[in-house]
Amino acid sequence: MIDCAVYRDGRREESGRTTGELQQALAGLGTDDFLWIGVNHPSTDEITRIGGVLGLHPLAIEDALESHQRPKIERYRDHLVVSMRMVSYRDDDITTHEINLYLGDHYLLTVRRGGPSLAGARRRAEGMIDTLAHGPTAALYVVVDAIVDHYEEVAVELEIDVQEVETSVFSPERTSDSTRIYRLKREALEFRRAVAPLREPVARFAATAEPAEVRLYFRDISDHLGRAAEAIDTVDHLLDNALTAHLAQLSVQQNEDMRKLTAGATIFAIPTAIAGIYGMNFEHMPELDWTYGYPLSLAFMGGLCLYVYRRFKRSGWL
């Protein structure tokens, strides 16, 4: 447990972190007060004890213990579970970390498994006293909003890298971009898995969240999720187009190489053919008696090769 505090009228009051102190804090909450608990990498025993104090459903506790949960919003009788993934992007690599948020009438529990700290989101919430006075749902909004806003930042960084790939693909220099394109497509898929499953449940929650004053905030989150999902779709389409263009460029380059090889082979075939005729060693060959036959034959071969070379050069084969 890395942080625990009681919020009365939107203002923080420190709270103890033992099981007994949590029970006392819950018992002393007023109608509009709530408890905000932050946990990182909890052990089975710790999350079980906290879940017992908060009255969490056994399946909700199981979600906190098992990694690789699909992003979702799950409703239980007296609490709500929001499973999300925090996303970070660096050097063409998407990294995701799971976070489970447990919302009750008088508490918000955040369970992280690594990833960026939520201390900044908590400080931001504590600066929004009027908003935080709406209860734990307002605190949930601040955390989810911080995670979703980072989705959009990652989407922008991904689009910048895709633009770099497009520039490289259409550059006059020969490049090998297929490996990076496939890697970016894989990372875009991982990003989609974090964002896409949340769109529908967040939209539903935005229509039913209590108190009604916070619904507008969750509609804003739903809109940001939609923008992030659209950005992922755009990146995926651009990568498909870049891969198609790259393969087409490779085909064009291979055709140019084959034309150059064919032209070169044709030029060298001319002296090879003439030399082959002279190498047949027939006795009755008039050219053999010519004093200048050898230099004339060399000059003829060179002139003919030069003529063919110029014709290929004009036609763009060389």
Domain boundaries, the chain: 3-248, 250-315
Query: Which H helix or E strand runs over 235?
Result: helix 215-278
Report the pLDDT value the prediction gives residue 286, as an integer from 0 to 100. 64
Asked if residue 136 lies in contact with residue 108, where contact means CB atoms within 8 angstroms, the answer is yes
| Position 173 confidence tier, pLDDT thresholds 50, 70, 90 | confident
236-253 pLDDT, tens digit per residue, is: 999 999 888 888 887 877
Which DSSP helix (H) or strand (E) runs through 262? helix 215-278
Architecture of domain 3-248: 2-Layer Sandwich (3.30)
Neighbours of 24 (CB within 10 A): 12
Can you list the alpha helix ranges (DSSP code H) found in 36-135? 44-54, 58-65, 119-126, 129-132
Identical topology for domains 3-248 and 250-315: no
Assigned CATH topology for domain 250-315: Methane Monooxygenase Hydroxylase; Chain G, domain 1 (1.20.58)
- Angle formed at CA 125 by CA 122 and CA 126, multiple of 5 degrees: 90
Structure confidence by residue, pLDDT tens digits, 281-312:
666 666 666 666 667 777 877 887 787 778 77
CA–CA gap between residue 56 and residue 58 (Å, rounded): 6
Q: For 49-72, how does the pLDDT look when each residue is reduced to its tens digit (9 = 90+)?
A: 999 999 999 999 988 888 778 899
**CA 162 to CA 204: how far, in whole Å?**
33
Q: How far apart are CA 144 and CA 160, in angstroms?
A: 25
pTM: predicted TM-score of the whole model, two decimal places:
0.78
